[in-house]
Amino acid sequence: MSITIRPAMVEDFGVIVELFREFAHFEHLDERMTNSVEQMKAETEYFNCFVAVNKQHEIVGYATYFFAYFTWTGKSLYMDDLYVKEGYRGAGIGTILINKVIDFAKTSGCHKLRWQVSDWNAPAISFYKGLGAVIDAQERNCDLDL
């Protein structure tokens, strides 16, 4: 399968929002997906994303990320989402996407790449461990909606 990874563009926002909805559904958290194309356009300076595009020019996956500063390690990259459409999973697209994020973090001078994985998502946990990631079961998310 021929896949190209490129930065997301404003013209992609409609498709990306649909993929956000798919991912929320996959996570069984549909009600938490409140983002919209309009919101993304208003906040575009904060949105960082690589998209996986097939030879038919269809976006079949994405990885979103942002820079962070962790007190114990310094400059880091946080990968918020890594998602591949269901019909395209198992073809190596997730590997290509995360490797793009890893390379970007390295070339940006980051000391760490951090992300989350749901404790029920055994295939993802196995995939991430295969990359050498350490999955910490000690810390939990704390979200405060504003």
49-54 vs 3-7, strand pairing mode: antiparallel
59-70 vs 49-54, strand pairing mode: antiparallel
Q: What is the DSSP letter of 130?
A: H
- Comparing CA positions, the residue from 80, 141, 79, 68 lying closest to residue 111 is 68
128 is catalytic: yes
The dihedrals phi and psi of 111, each to the nearest 5 degrees, come to -95, -15
Question: Could you say which of 62, 65, 83, 128 is catalytic?
Answer: 128
Query: For the CA atoms of the chain, what is the radius of gyration?
Result: 15
User: Which parts of the chain fold into alpha helices (H)?
Assistant: 13-26, 37-42, 93-107, 122-130
* Residues with catalytic function: 128
